Amino acid sequence: MDLRRLGRTDVAVSKICLGTMTFGEQNTEAEGHAQLDRAFAAGVNFLDAAELYPIPPRPETQGRTERIIGTWLKARGLRDKVIVATKVVGRSEMTHFRKDGAEGRLTAAQINEAVDRSLINLQTDYIDLYQVHWPDRNVSGFGSNPTRWADPEPVADETPIEETLEALTALVKAGKVRHLGLSNESPWGTMSYVKAAEMRGLERVVSIQNAYNLVNRTFESGLAEVALREDVGLLAYSALGQGYLTGKYRDGALPAGSRKALFNRLQRYEKPGGEAAINAYVDLARDAGLDPSQMAIAFALSRSFVTSVIIGATSMAQLDVALGAADLELSADVLARIDELHQLHGNPCP
């Protein structure tokens, strides 16, 4: 498994990162541990979690994902060999994350409470990469890189980015966090964090975790240049379009146990034009003799601005397919055909 540099740090992360948001909901602790074992054996040294997880977010399950990772770290004794990433929620109407029942905000008090609980859950005294899950401000659309602009409603109590970064920097100085990252952030937001670090002598962000896949390449329109010039590499999530790019939902199919069947939360990939684009990419993969899942992951891995691709699975068979994408290098012909389809279909699922 190839390793890639995380931002401007001396940390090397595997080009595939194991996402864990199913642990504690669709996957039991034993199944989560088995996935972690299999991924580690394949060379994956990078794990991604969040205080929000598992998905869907519910008060009664919140924190289970981190706790499953924590029991694995303790049982295996691998803490110094694994890069652990987790996240703090941004602005949210959900009130079950904080002891006082407050809505989610990126204030110093809330960040401090969140990181301390994550450290307990993960059974560690430091987090390698601590990420802002989404902004405190209202943005044009979730993911912060929409194809069409919609004026966001300003909020009076917006926490300034500088204040959030000061709180996060204090965590680094305290030794609770090694490095900082963003998620679901825009070009303006990312550069605001970079500028605040340079102007105020604060900690620099080293990564950004946004959706990126064959039917959502909006990252390329502004954030790709930021990622390359500022060394804020992309940790690409949803490379399989929440399962749609595997082809398993084609023609209305609804596999038992799938996320759509269980939770019906896949509307991001059910936009006008989405079905035609998804089918075209699945057909391309099959015409080229490739597994559609592996082609989609390999495409994301081939981008110069990508540091790591976050994979997720609910079964070991799915995990093995995703891990196998690490060995796949797409031909120039396949990449050219992907770009032709992108020219035709654009970004239907931002």
Tell me the mean pLDDT in the region 144-150.
Answer: 85
Q: Is the pLDDT of residue 134 over 80?
A: yes
Q: Is the pLDDT of residue 171 over 80?
A: yes
- Dmax over CA atoms of the chain, in Å, equals 56
339-343: long-range contacts, CB 8 A cutoff, minimum separation 24: 341/214, 341/277, 341/280, 341/281, 341/284, 342/214, 342/217
Q: Which residues participate in catalysis according to the annotation?
A: 53
Give the tens place of pLDDT for each residue, 7-27: 999 999 999 999 999 999 999
Give the tens place of pLDDT for each residue, 92-119: 999 999 999 999 999 999 999 999 999 9
Select from 28, 77, 47, 69 the least CA-distant residue to 316.
28
What is the CB neighbour count within 10 angstroms for residue 331?
Answer: 10
Residues 6+ apart with CB under 8 A from 51: 62, 63, 66, 86, 87, 88, 89, 97, 114, 117, 118, 133
Element containing residue 5 per DSSP (H, E):
strand 3-5
Q: How far apart are CA 226 and CA 215, in angstroms?
A: 21
Q: Hey, what amino acid is at 147?
A: T
Tell me the mean pLDDT in the region 156-177.
Answer: 98
Q: Is the pLDDT of residue 142 over 90?
A: no
To the nearest whole percent, how much of the chain has pLDDT over 90?
95
Element containing residue 85 per DSSP (H, E):
strand 83-88
Tokens describing residue 232: 């804020």
Distances (CA, A) of 308 to 2, 19, 93, 146, 280: 10, 11, 31, 22, 25
Q: How far apart are CA 161 and CA 142, in angstroms?
A: 18
Q: Is the pLDDT of residue 145 over 90?
A: no
pLDDT at position 118 is 98
Task: Report the helix count and the strand count for the chain, using DSSP H and E.
Answer: 11, 10
Give the tens place of pLDDT for each residue, 185-210: 999 999 999 999 999 999 999 999 99
Select from 300, 7, 305 the least CA-distant residue to 129.
7
When pLDDT is cut at 50, 70 and 90, the band that residue 265 belongs to is: confident
Q: Is the pLDDT of residue 283 over 80?
A: yes
Q: Are 67 and 105 contacting, i.e. CB atoms less than 8 angstroms apart?
A: no
pLDDT at position 169 is 98
Tell me the mean pLDDT in the region 114-131.
Answer: 98
Q: Parallel, antiparallel, or unpaired: how do β-strands 127-132 and 177-183 relate? A: parallel
Classify the C-alpha dihedral 43-288-261-234 as positive or negative: positive
Tell me the mean pLDDT in the region 200-225.
Answer: 98
Element containing residue 130 per DSSP (H, E):
strand 127-132
DSSP SS3 for 46: strand
Q: Is the pLDDT of residue 144 over 80?
A: no
Tokens describing residue 130: 């601590």
pLDDT at position 222 is 94
Tell me the mean pLDDT in the region 234-238.
Answer: 98
Tell me the mean pLDDT in the region 112-134.
Answer: 98
Q: Are 65 and 20 contacting, i.e. CB atoms less than 8 angstroms apart?
A: yes
Name the DSSP class of 267. G
